[in-house]
């Protein structure tokens, strides 16, 4: 697999080009501020609202989406996936003239055919493999979040250079940049966030918490055990894999880890993962998410509200308020 680092990318490939970051949320703010700090010409395309106010407060040049798209040579769409197709159609496509570059940080709308760009532009992806807030925080620490690049269309012959220069501008080449395809990024990202990183982890934590509390243990004990300490364990895995973590925990914990872990995440979980991946690959998940947004997200709202009201959130807020490191005074 091709790997790229700082020396493989040239910010000069974006010299004289205006980059419009459309959207100023988790990824938009992180990427735009990093690009600005990298000396690149970045503007923001955003509707009125809190994000726009934040972008103005951050000292960036802010425009309505259509004006930003008109001015830009590179248009990075960092809107919510579910909003991209409509904003693209009404406010970006009319200004997507020949030789411009359309960019994404997730392949959903291209891969599932919600956005079909004209043939005379470049279509690329630069996708940080991490939350937008961490894209900014690591950049400010002099480090970077790994990123993926993908080239869907290379009309100008410079698409990869532009993608690599952009990846460098947001700090990705400080870590590593790997090349993939829109399909592979889309399917692996959706699977990862659903089955492991977000869905899997929150469900595992909730199950552990409910088991302990249901058996009569104090919710505070359960919270510290299955949620608060999770970061400390995962940090060790992040730094050096399972081995590094196991070198740090007790032998008792390690024996429990390797013998009981597979009983918790066993055959049923593997079957569920296969089913979830299949729903992603067949487009079933994409269709469900698109339809959910067309009827104002009843399932999304109900399940989000239910978790917000979960005891673990109440207990967690109380415990975090007891710890100086979380106090914002
Ligand atoms: N959140 C993350 O850490 C990651 C996100 N991505 C991808 O990055 C893209 C952006 O995601 P996030 O940054 O999470 O989005 P977000 O929800 O944090 O921010 C979206 C931004 O778009 C603005 N916006 C929403 N609707 C708009 C409209 N109709 N017109 C103009 N502005 C509008 C919002 O005000 C906000 O500033 C998505 O494709 C996502 O899949 C990729 C990797 C990680
Ligand atoms: C942060 C990230 O990589 C996710 C989970 O894929 C996302 O926010 O879409
Ligand atoms: Mg992701
Ligand atoms: Mg994602």
Q: Which residues contact 227 (CB under 8 A, 6 or more apart)?
A: 205, 209, 312, 316
What's the pLDDT score for residue 328? 75
Residues 6 or more apart whose CB falls under 8 angstroms from that of 213 comprise: 219, 222, 311
CA 189 from chain centre, in angstroms, equals: 8
Per the listing, tokens 């699977």 go with 191
**Residue 189 Cβ contacting ligand 2 at under 6 Å:** yes
Whether the CB of 192 sits within 6 Å of ligand 1: no
Q: Please list, in sequence order, all residues whose beta carbon lies within 8 angstroms of the beta carbon of residue 42, skipping any fewer than 6 positions away.
A: 18, 19, 20, 21, 32, 35, 36, 60, 61
Position of tokens 């359309």? 102
Residue 53 labeled ligand binder: no
How far apart CA 285 and CA 257 sit, in angstroms, is 33
**Residue from 171, 185, 162, 181 nearest 76 by CA:** 162
54 lines ligand 1 (CB under 6 A): no
DSSP string, 101-166: EEEESS-HHHHTTS----TTSEEEEEEESS-HHHHHHHHHTT----EEEEEEE-SSS-HHHHHHHH
Q: Cα of 225 to ligand 1 centre, how many Å?
A: 33
Q: Which pLDDT score is estimated for 329?
A: 64
pTM comes to: 0.96
For residue 228, indicate whether it is catalytic: no
* Interface predicted TM-score (ipTM): 0.98
Give the number of other CB atoms < 10 A from CB of residue 329: 3
79 in contact with ligand 1, CB cutoff 6 A: yes
* Residue the block writes with tokens 């196991």: 246
The pLDDT profile of the chain, 329 residues, written as one tens digit per residue, is 789 999 999 999 999 999 999 999 999 999 999 999 999 999 999 999 999 999 999 999 999 999 999 999 999 999 999 999 999 999 999 999 999 999 999 999 999 999 999 999 999 999 999 999 999 999 999 999 999 999 999 999 999 999 999 999 999 999 999 999 999 999 999 999 999 999 999 999 999 999 999 999 999 999 999 999 999 999 999 999 999 999 999 999 999 999 999 999 999 999 999 999 999 999 999 999 999 999 999 999 999 999 999 999 999 999 999 999 998 76
Contact 18, 166 (CB under 8 A): no
**Shortest CA distance to 47 belongs to which of 106, 87, 102?**
87
- How far away, in angstroms, is 199 Cα from ligand 4 center? 12
240: annotated binding-site residue? Answer: no
Residue 250 marked as a ligand binder: yes
For residue 245, the model assigns a pLDDT of: 98
Whether 173 and 144 have beta carbons less than 8 Å apart is answered as yes
Please tell me the distance from the alpha carbon of residue 304 to that of residue 177, in angstroms, as a whole number. Answer: 33
Q: Which of 46, 49, 80 to mutate to test the pocket of ligand 1 (most atoms within 8 A of CB)?
A: 80
Residue 26: name the closest of 117, 127, 113, 101 by CA.
Answer: 127
Alpha carbon nearest to ligand 2 atom 8, residue? 131
Contacts of 63 (CB under 8 A, 6+ apart): 20, 43, 44, 45, 46, 71
């Amino acid at each position: 697999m091709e790997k790229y680092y700082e020396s493989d990318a040239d910010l000069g490939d974006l010299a004289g080009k205006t980059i419009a970051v459309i959207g100023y949320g988790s990824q938009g703010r992180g990427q735009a501020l990093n690009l600005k700090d990298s000396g690149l010409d970045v503007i923001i395309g955003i509707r009125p609202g809190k994000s726009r106010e934040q972008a103005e407060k951050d000292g960036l040049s802010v425009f309505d989406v259509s004006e930003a798209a008109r001015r830009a040579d590179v248009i990075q769409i960092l809107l919510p996936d579910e909003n991209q197709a409509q904003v693209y159609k009404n406010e970006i496509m009319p200004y997507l003239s020949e030789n411009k570059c359309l960019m994404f940080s997730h392949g959903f709308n291209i891969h599932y055919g919600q956005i079909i760009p004209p043939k005379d532009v470049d279509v690329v992806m630069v996708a940080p493999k991490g939350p937008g807030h961490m894209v900014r925080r690591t950049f400010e620490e002099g480090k970077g979040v790994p990123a993926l690049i993908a080239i869907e269309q290379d009309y100008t012959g410079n698409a990869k250079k532009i993608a690599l220069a952009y990846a460098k501008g947001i700090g990705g080449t400080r870590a590593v940049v790997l090349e993939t395809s829109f399909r592979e990024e889309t399917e692996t990202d959706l699977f990862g966030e659903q089955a492991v990183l977000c869905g899997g982890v929150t469900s595992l934590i909730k199950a552990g918490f409910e088991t302990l509390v249901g058996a009569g243990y104090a919710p505070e004990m359960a919270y510290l055990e299955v949620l608060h300490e999770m970061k400390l364990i995962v940090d060790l895995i992040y730094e050096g894999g399972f081995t590094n973590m196991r070198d740090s925990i007790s032998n008792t914990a390690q024996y429990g880890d390797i013998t009981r872990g597979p009983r918790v995440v066993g055959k049923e979980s593997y079957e569920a993962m296969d089913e979830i991946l299949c729903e992603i690959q067949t487009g079933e998940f994409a269709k469900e998410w698109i339809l959910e947004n067309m009827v104002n997200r009843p399932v999304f709202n109900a399940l989000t509200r239910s978790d917000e009201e979960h005891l673990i959130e109440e207990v967690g807020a109380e415990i975090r308020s007891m710890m100086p490191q979380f106090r914002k005074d």
